[in-house]
Structure 1
Amino acid sequence: MAVLTLNRSIRWRGLDLETIEHCHIIANGRDTRIRGTIIGPDFGLFYRLKLDENGHTRTVKIERTDGKTLELFADGAGAWSDDRAEPIPALRGCVDVDIWPTPFTNALPIWRSDWADDQPVSFAMAWIDATDFSFKRSEQIYTRLDATHFRYQSADFAAVLEIDADGIVTEYPGLFTQI
């Protein structure tokens, strides 16, 4: 994995849920910090992620505008705990997080891996629905098709994602578009 250095803002429009998102990423080689805000038709939320120097998720905090908060911690090696330091066995082995409804978290496994075209790579993701705070383990497969396209597959879903030079989704067919 190359050292990631970024200081950039991105915006997406959600096509399915009619959301708008603003996200800011600061990556300096020591860690990566991501802050995002998503406004939906009947919800609003703020999320924060911190990744370690290896691109592994270490903290996830999601706060909804109704005041409810979800905070999870990871050790970078696949063990997760909640804000009371209670282990979460269901997420054991997950290094990355995938938050719905944002296309941003698709960048995490893309950033963390060395890619060859048409070589699928499997990931165990901590999948979080930020609208209701449910979470589960999700097995996902990413396949780099070329420098700007990845096939994403999960249990019952597949899509070809278009990414920019920073590995960030620009088009997620039917779900999100960068604006």
Structure 2
Amino acid sequence: MHWRALDRDGEDKCRLARTSGGFMLVGHARFRDGLGWAALDYVVRLGGDWHALGADVSGDYGGETIAWRLARAGQGWALNDEALPGLEGVTDIDLSFTPATNTMPLRRLPEVGRLDCTAAWLRLPGPKVSALTQGYTRERGGLVRYAARETEYETHLAVDANGFVTLYPGLWERADHG
């Protein structure tokens, strides 16, 4: 998948690969924000049930080289091997700089109905990681209503048959392949 940013200069490209134990999202996000240009590479490891096992983010951000490893640690999560409080029972990862991580809950979303989940939400600058309670409700015409409780954010995502976001209003859209 290839997206272009709508709120700033930038793009994100990712691939979904099957592994022996599940799946892997591998991507490259390039964008400009208030700290300048960012060049971030990410790998999100997923179990066969589409729940997150961990993620690595590396590259340049804000003029600094970064290397972050977010991983399950018992019932919770750790960032670079340091336990993160308040993330017990979290099943997903949301990397704030890419729509790729919406794919996991979208793949679990039933054809009719709703899915509620909680993600370890990694935000920039930082990294800042906290729990983000998310709701996904399938609607007509390939749309999914998305809501994040802690931020009171709601929107309608356009989604393709593979569970990838094709339009995240005001933030991302699938880039034309023409």
**TM tier, smaller:** 0.7 to 0.9
Amino acid of the structure 1 residue aligned with 2:57: I
* Aligned mates of 1:55, 1:49 — CA distance in 2: 11
The answer to whether residue 85 in structure 2 is matched with residue 94 in structure 1 is no
* Aligned partner of 1:149 among 135, 143, 146: 143
2:101 maps to what in 1?
105
Distance 1:35 1:92, change over 3 A: same
1:6 maps to what in 2?
none
* Aligned mates of 1:105, 1:114 — CA distance in 2: 17
1:168 maps to what in 2?
164
Distance 1:124 1:54, change over 3 A: same
Amino acid of the structure 1 residue aligned with 2:127: F
* Aligned mates of 1:143, 1:70 — CA distance in 2: 31
Per the normalisation by structure 1, the TM-score is 0.84
2:76 maps to what in 1?
79
Amino acid of the structure 2 residue aligned with 1:89: P
Q: After TM superposition, what 4+ stretches of structure 1 lie above 4 angstroms from structure 2?
A: none
More strand by share: 2
Amino acid of the structure 1 residue aligned with 2:15: H
Q: CA RMSD in A?
A: 1.9
Verify the 8 A CA contact 2:136 2:144 in the aligned structure 1: yes
Counting aligned pairs with the same residue, the percent is 25
Shift of 1:33: 1.1
The answer to whether residue 177 in structure 2 is matched with residue 178 in structure 1 is no
The answer to whether residue 36 in structure 2 is matched with residue 45 in structure 1 is no
1:140 maps to what in 2?
134
Verify the 8 A CA contact 1:30 1:52 in the aligned structure 2: yes
* Aligned mates of 2:86, 2:111 — CA distance in 1: 28
Verify the 8 A CA contact 1:99 1:130 in the aligned structure 2: no
Distance 1:28 1:61, change over 3 A: closer
Q: How does 1:7-18 map to 2 (within 5 A)?
A: 10-18=1-9
SS of 1:81 mapped into structure 2? strand
Amino acid of the structure 2 residue aligned with 1:108: M
Structure 2: gaps of 5 or more residues:
none
SS of 1:40 mapped into structure 2? strand
1:19 maps to what in 2?
10
Shift of 1:28: 4.9
Shift of 1:27: 2.1
